[in-house]
Amino acid sequence: MDRYEPQQIEAKWQRVWEDERAFYVPDPPPGEEPQNHWYQLEMLPYPSGTLHMGHVLNYTMGDVLTHFRRRNGWIVLRPMGFDSFGLPAENAAIREGGHPRDIVEGNIAEIRRQMRRLGWVIDWDREVSAHEPSYYRWTQWLFLRFFERGLAYRKAAPVNWCPNDQTVVANEYVIDGHCERCGAKVEARNLEQWFFKITAYADELLRFDLPPGGSWPERTMTIQRNWIGRSEGAEIIFRVEELDQDIAVFTTRPDTLFGATFFVLAPEHPLVEQIGDADVLAYARETAARRGEERAAEEEKTGVFTGHYATNPVNGARLPIWVADYVLMDYGTGAIMAVPAHDERDREFAERFDVPIVPVIDDDERLINSAQFDGLPAEEGKGAIVEWLREQGKGAHAVSYRLRDWSMSRQRYWGCPIPIIHCGECGLVPVPDDELPVLLPEVQDYRPKGVPPLASNEEWLHVPCPKCGGPATREADTMDTFVDSSWYFLRYVDADNGEAPFDRRLVDYWCPISHYIGGIDHATGHLLYSRFFVKVLNEIGLLGFREPFARLFHQGWVQMGGTKMSKSKGNVAGPDEMVDGYGADAVRLYILFMGPADQDMEWNDDGVEGIVRFVRRLWRVVLEAAERAPQSDPGDGALVRKAHQTIVRVTADIERRLQFHTPISAVMELVNELAEDTAAEGARFAAETAVSLLQPWAPHVTEELWQRLGHERLWEQSWPVADPALLERATFELVVQVNGKVRDRMEVPAGLAEDELVERAKASERVRAHVDGKKIRQTIVVPGKLVNLVVG
């Protein structure tokens, strides 16, 4: 018998699949659209390095599901691409020296090789990379559609500045006040930047109108909902008589309006400039500048009185106007009414600065000190006071969100150029569609300097205005790489289209994505941005759905030394040595066998020997059975029944429960049982079943064994189906309990009447030892399982 030689077998079958183009998926011809299609996708890799075991987990899961679906009769699209623009790639290039394009393209070639070596099913005809002009041309084209609708706009606003990466960073990728990419502490800066108006979709993003059959982890929806942070309340107008001005505040507690005893402006509030004296202005400037700094939660609030007063619309009370650091300019209106009796922060401030505190809600949650509203339950009071304000023209019901618009321009080189021209006469002028793409210019020194590197290429920068022909300059910021990844899954469907980003018919056929796998770290970033994009593209008429991802699954982190593997942390284990040593099948099996796929795992290769042993045992036992067991009716012996049970377990675990490790255990059990006697009745059937069931996990060795069992093209065979008749047992093991404790077990025929079961139970000597001399108070019978005698 041959030895198991994974390198040889794997190379052989990979060549066959490539030669046959076994996993390339044709698009449906117009008018003929089969129903059972499936779009399997995992988040695309950054080619800032090569693959590590985290990627191996992610893509192997997708691969198992792809094989499983295919063999269940589905047409499965499973493309791949590279998120090759942006900070990760550029920082890698700076680290390693060289041009980002060279680094990225070198890594892409290497990753493709790694992916082929692992035997993953990928339709390479649809590959896209964000940095290729054929792709980013359409990123720019889409940007212009957003711009036309006012959904991409420029404004000065407080933004997060990463001093290390020398660029603005989106809120979504500032973690604990630090840049998600490089870990540096971010600073607050007031800069003019490009934004996408994602806030216009806040309410819809809060709803998850998933396509039929869709499901998202509750956890992820909660994270997005918290991030969007919808608060319901009221906007209330306060009058500043001496300035003849109105200032609006947002509050979620209009019921406490009578308890407002002071009024606070954020340091950045425009009114501060008007009313502040020198001291106030100095305080405001200093505090605004300190914004980005990390502040301990227990740090004391600061503030300064402006000398002016605002009038409470509900009772005419004159409230001193303060400027304080605890009010944020970019939430609500940047001004608050302070109710120290019922707000912890206001109370802390009031106590520190000796401002009066007036309670307006009693222990019974009813309004007090609130004139005509006294006695109302607080909840009713909210509505009543808002209604009164509305009648007086002093306020209205309002909703506020924590979500901010998506800051998407970057002062960096390696990104998609923003197709806009700045003209002194005409303002912001879009580059005409037929002049796209605006190619990323070559620059001498692309490293970040705080000013956009693109601007250093003078020849590129200066262009005539497309509108008036006068002198103008190009926008020199580039796009956040998350713009690229907000629509890549649509481009896969129609990757070569030179006329449009994609064909609507094809996108509507394949999408929404049936099953998306990726890290939960993108819950408030990529996964939110992509939903926003799809909603906008739907409104433009480019596609016919409003949610991109039907089913979502998050794989756990593969960690090393307690932290997530990543190139920048240097704790990376790559698949290459493992594949060299054990073969791709063993690596695939091992990474999935390590534990539940949605749970974090600590990488170690201690247990890989066990998997290798298993694959070798499978090899030996199957070949033995192929030799010894006759090709005949498998019969209905124990081994055949075990095989049918295994079909049920593997199928249910992978299909319904998305468990990748327990099916491996199930097949191990079957192989162990087969190993006991490879000439037993049904041994050949058991061997074939084990090989067939394991194919999605270990496609090479199973294909080879399938061939040696005298068959062909396992990857195209339909998935095994269990015979219900062979799952039913003629007899079963009856468990007999006395007072809930198991006292005996006996093999009895299936289908006995309940009283017959009880009779047999009582006849047992071991049971009688615990029952005799006592009264049986109750008898519980679970048909097909057990009898429980309750004695007292």
Partner RNA sequence: GCCGGGGUGGCGAAAUUGGUCAUACGCGCCUGGCUUAAAACCAGGUGCCCCUUCGGGGGCGUCAGGGUUCGAGUCCCUGCCCCGGCACCA
Q: By CB under 7 A, what part of segment 262-301 binds RNA?
A: 266, 295, 297, 299, 301
Question: Between 609 and 759, whose beta carbon lies closer to RNA?
Answer: 609
| Residues 623 and 705 sit within 8 Å (Cβ to Cβ) | yes
Backbone angles phi, psi at 124, to 5 degrees: -70, -10
| Binding residue count for RNA, defined by CB under 7 A | 84
Can you tell me which of 183, 450, 471, 610 binds RNA, judged by CB under 7 A?
610
How far is residue 536's CA from residue 540's CA, in Å, rounded to a whole number?
6
Give the separation between CA 493 and CA 548, rounded to whole angstroms.
13
Sign of CA dihedral 673, 675, 681, 683: positive
Q: Out of 506, 668, 698, 722, which residue is the one contacting RNA (CB under 7 A)? A: 668
Contacts of residue 218, Cβ cutoff 8 Å, sequence gap at least 6: none
Report the residue number, 250 or 529, with the smaller CB distance to RNA. Answer: 250
Using the rule CB under 7 A, is 659 a contact of RNA?
Answer: yes
| The one-letter amino acid at 610 | G
> Is the CB of residue 758 less than 8 Å from the CB of residue 767?
no
Residue with smaller CB distance to RNA, 107 or 555? 555
Tell the smallest beta-carbon distance from residue 250 to RNA (Å): 5
| Helix (H) / strand (E) containing 489 | helix 488-491
Q: Does 768 bind RNA (CB under 7 A)?
A: no
Give the residue, chosen from 37, 397, 567, 617, that forms a contact with RNA under the rule CB under 7 A: 617
Q: Under the criterion CB under 7 A, does residue 519 sit at the interface with RNA?
A: no
Closest approach of RNA to the CB of residue 567, in Å: 18
Q: Does 229 bind RNA (CB under 7 A)?
A: yes
Letters for 740-759 (x = contact with RNA by CB under 7 A, - = none) are xxxx-x--------------
Nearer of residues 405 and 475 to RNA, judged by Cβ: 405
CA–CA distances in Å: residue 136 to residues 133, 144, 288: 5, 12, 37
- Residue among 220, 69, 48, 130 at smallest CA distance from 569: 48
Interactions with RNA, residue window 520-549 (CB under 7 A): 520
Residue 765 as a binder of RNA (CB under 7 A): the answer is no
Q: Identify the three-state secondary structure at position 66.
A: helix
Ranges within 160-219 binding RNA (CB under 7 A): 175-176, 218-219
Closest CA to 687 of 712, 704, 706, 703: 706
- Judge contact between 482 and 532, C-beta under 8 A: no
Contact set for RNA, span 393-412 (CB under 7 A): 400, 402
User: Which amino acid is residue 439, in one-letter code?
Assistant: L
User: Any contact of residue 669 with RNA (CB under 7 A)?
Assistant: yes
Contact call for residue 778 and RNA (CB under 7 A)? yes
613 binds RNA (CB under 7 A): yes
Task: For residue 211, say if its preceding peptide bond is cis, omega within 30 degrees of 0.
Answer: no
Q: How far apart are CA 523 and CA 508, in angstroms?
A: 24
DSSP alpha helix (H) spans, 40-129: 53-71, 87-96, 100-117
- Residues numbered 451-510 forming contacts with RNA, rule: CB under 7 A: none
Binding characters for RNA, 567-606, by CB under 7 A (x = yes): --------------------------xxxx--xxx----x
Asked if 223 interacts with RNA (CB under 7 A), we say: yes
Degrees (nearest 5) of the Cα angle 668, 671, 673?
110
Among the listed ranges 127-135, 423-431, 657-665, 748-756, the one in contact with RNA (CB under 7 A) is: 657-665
The two tokens of residue 683 are 């041994």
In the complex, least distance from residue 459 CB atom to RNA, rounded to whole angstroms: 42
Nearer to RNA, 5 or 102 (CB): 5
Q: Tell me how crowded residue 669 is: count the other CB atoms within 10 A of its CB.
A: 15
> 43, 517, 558, 612: which one contacts RNA (CB under 7 A)?
612
C-beta of 599 vs 718, nearer to RNA: 599
User: Closer to RNA at the Cβ: 631 or 778?
Assistant: 778
Our CB check for RNA shows the closer of 710 and 751 to be: 751
SS3 250: strand
Q: How far is the CB of 345 from RNA (least distance, A)?
A: 5
Residue choice 72, 566, 665, 717 for contact with RNA (CB under 7 A)? 665
> Which one of 664, 674, 698, 767 is in contact with RNA (CB under 7 A)?
664
60 lies in the site for RNA, by CB under 7 A: no
User: What DSSP string runs through 725-766?
Assistant: HHHS-SEEEEEEEETTEEEEEEEEETT--HHHHHHHHHH-HH
Between strands 776-782 and 731-738, the pairing is unpaired
Q: Is the dihedral of CA 520, 526, 532, 538 positive or negative?
A: negative
**Which lies closer to RNA via its Cβ, residue 369 or residue 559?**
559
Interface with RNA in residues 235-264 (CB under 7 A): 249-253
Residue 16 contacts RNA per CB under 7 A: no
Distance CA 740, CA 787 (A): 9
Answer whether 125's CB lies under 8 Å from 495's CB.
Answer: yes
Binding-site member from 735, 752, 762, 768 for RNA (CB under 7 A): 735
Q: What is the length of the chain?
A: 792
Q: How far is the CB of 33 from RNA (least distance, A)?
A: 34
CB of 107 to RNA, least distance (A): 26
The structure tokens 């990488």 sit at: 603
Of 137 and 178, which CB lies nearer to RNA in the complex structure? Answer: 178
**Subset of residues 324 to 363 that bind RNA, contact rule: CB under 7 A:** 325-329, 331-332, 334, 336, 339, 343, 345
Q: Cα separation of 217 and 224, whole Å?
A: 11
Q: Which of residues 625-654 bind RNA (CB under 7 A)?
A: 648-649, 652
Among 662, 717, 723, 748, binds RNA (CB under 7 A): 662
Q: Measured from the CB of residue 759, what is the shortest distance to RNA in angstroms?
A: 18
**Hey, which residues between 705 and 734 contact RNA (CB under 7 A)?**
732-733
420-423/427-430 β-pairing: antiparallel
Task: List the beta bridge partners of residue 473.
Answer: 422, 462
